């Protein structure tokens, strides 16, 4: 795989579509397709954006907007803006500095960062780039509890302040374009940062990743996703971490109720950016019934389809406490590394400020 990484002047790039175009021009075709595409016929991928367009804001005026505050409080921590960086794995396919570049940009702007399990760099390396902002760790809990426990222990030690458990991925979605391209970043070792640095995982290998990277990657792939997990397994995570637990991937109000029953500390309404169940409801359409079920008992975040300040304000107006930004920052990363992510985040913050002031 070749990362072209041309130097692009992004100081005037504003629109999502332009970032997408630059990303497409700048990186390997299969890597770009992996980031952009969704599962199946991409119905959910499209609904995620289209359903935001169906919701209209009705502004109120003459209420002094000279000092609009965007701060929000989640699980005892103050976020400067009501959004976070969504967990996105394998950022090394977008730029050689991967998550480190994204983390540097987020840290400089104090935007909270959620690190994926399947990162190109290790959770400790990423945490080192995030001294000044909130950081959460997203867990793909494996059937191998010792490795899961090791990840939880490492995340806590590295200073992550919450665990985001992604539940919509008991197995990988049917991603037709990646199947056509025969492309899997996990197979080429781009998501191995946490595994190849884990003492428990390394003990499982006959030969080290340096000696046999293909065998190590194969061993890792067996561990990333686990179809057997059920709600009762949340108890295991509770046993191994004292950090708050947030469930990511809730779309049904009954699952929101289950989250409350199991005592989790927050949820993310998400369909994984249309990458898992094609035909699934868009996150923004799912939100109101879930907010109704949760009744402000725990924080509700939302992702999938957030492209602008107006999208975020619509989600907040419908009851989300915060949103997570996904593909927009990944395109910034692919277009221009840290600078690209920084530009995407700065634009998003300004857009949020303007939109909040005008509603």
Ligand X SMILES: Cc1cc2nc3c(=O)[nH]c(=O)nc-3n(C[C@H](O)[C@H](O)[C@H](O)COP(=O)(O)O)c2cc1C
Distances (CA, A) of 171 to 167, 273, 319, 355: 10, 15, 30, 38
Residue with smaller CB distance to ligand X, 18 or 212: 18
Least Å distance between CB 118 and ligand X? 5
Contact with ligand X (CB under 6 A) among 87, 92, 193, 332: 87
Least Å distance between CB 280 and ligand X? 12
Q: What residues are labeled active site?
A: 272
Among the candidate windows 7-15, 87-95, 100-108, 170-178, which touches ligand X by CB under 6 A? 87-95
Residues 101 and 287: their CA atoms lie apart, in Å, by 32
Residues 152 and 225: their CA atoms lie apart, in Å, by 16
Residue with smaller CB distance to ligand X, 118 or 212: 118
Site for ligand X in 279-338 (CB under 6 A): 303-306, 326-327, 330
Tell me phi and psi for residue 162, to 5 degrees: -160, 155
166 annotated to a ligand binding site: yes
Interface pattern 18-57 for ligand X (x via CB under 6 A): -----------------x------------x---------
Least Å distance between CB 207 and ligand X? 26
Q: Which residue from 91, 145, 140, 142 is spatially nearest to 113, judged by alpha carbons?
A: 91
Distances (CA, A) of 36 to 1, 23, 298: 17, 10, 31
Residue with smaller CB distance to ligand X, 175 or 356: 175
Distances (CA, A) of 71 to 247, 304, 352: 23, 22, 12
Residue with smaller CB distance to ligand X, 89 or 92: 89
> What are the tokens at 25?
């021009």
307 annotated to a ligand binding site: yes
Contact with ligand X (CB under 6 A) among 273, 299, 309, 340: 273
Site for ligand X in 128-147 (CB under 6 A): 138
For 167-181, give one letter per residue: b (16+ CB within 10 A) or e.
bbbeeebebeebeee
* 198 neighbors 154 (Cβ within 8 angstroms): yes
Q: Which residue from 330, 303, 297 is spatially nearest to 315, judged by alpha carbons?
A: 303
Can you give the binding site for ligand X, defined by CB under 6 A?
A: 35, 48, 86-89, 116, 118, 138, 166, 248, 270, 272-273, 275, 303-306, 326-327, 330
Binding site for glyoxylate, by residue number, is: 34, 140, 175, 272, 275
**Residues of each annotated binding site:** 34, 87-89, 116, 138, 140, 166, 175, 248, 270, 272, 275, 303-307, 326-327
């Amino acid at each position: 795989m070749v990362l072209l990484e041309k130097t692009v002047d992004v100081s005037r790039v504003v629109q999502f579509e332009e970032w997408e175009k630059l990303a497409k021009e700048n990186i390997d075709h299969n890597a770009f397709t992996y980031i952009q595409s969704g599962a199946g016929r991409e119905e959910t991928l499209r609904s995620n954006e289209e359903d935001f367009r169906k919701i209209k804001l009705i502004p109120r005026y003459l209420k002094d907007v000279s000092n609009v505050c965007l701060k929000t409080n989640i699980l005892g921590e103050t976020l400067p803006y009501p959004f976070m960086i969504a967990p996105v794995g394998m950022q090394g396919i977008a730029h050689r500095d991967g998550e480190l570049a994204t983390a540097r940009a987020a840290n400089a702007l104090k935007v909270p960062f959620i690190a994926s399990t399947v990162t190109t760099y290790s959770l400790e390396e990423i945490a080192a780039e995030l001294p000044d902002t909130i950081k959460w760790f997203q867990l793909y809990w494996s059937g191998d509890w010792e490795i899961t426990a090791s990840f939880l222990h490492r995340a806590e030690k590295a200073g992550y302040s919450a665990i985001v458990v992604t539940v919509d991925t008991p197995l990988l979605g049917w991603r037709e374009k990646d199947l056509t391209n025969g492309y899997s970043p996990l197979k080429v070792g781009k998501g191995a940062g946490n595994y190849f640095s884990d003492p428990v995982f390394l003990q499982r290998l006959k030969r080290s990743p340096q000696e046999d990277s293909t065998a190590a990657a194969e061993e890792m792939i067996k561990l990333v996703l686990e179809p057997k997990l059920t709600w009762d397994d949340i108890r295991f995570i509770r046993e191994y971490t004292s950090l708050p637990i947030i469930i990511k991937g809730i779309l049904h109000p009954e699952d929101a109720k289950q989250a409350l029953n199991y005592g989790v500390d927050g949820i993310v309404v998400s369909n994984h950016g249309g990458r898992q169940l094609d035909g699934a409801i868009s996150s923004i359409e799912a939100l109101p019934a879930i907010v109704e079920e949760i009744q402000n008992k725990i924080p509700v975040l939302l992702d999938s389809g957030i492209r602008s300040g107006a999208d975020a304000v619509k989600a907040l107006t419908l009851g989300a406490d915060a949103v997570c930004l996904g593909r927009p920052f990944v395109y910034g990363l692919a277009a221009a590394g840290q600078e690209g992510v920084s530009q995407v985040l700065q634009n998003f913050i300004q857009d949020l400020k303007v939109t909040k002031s005008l509603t």
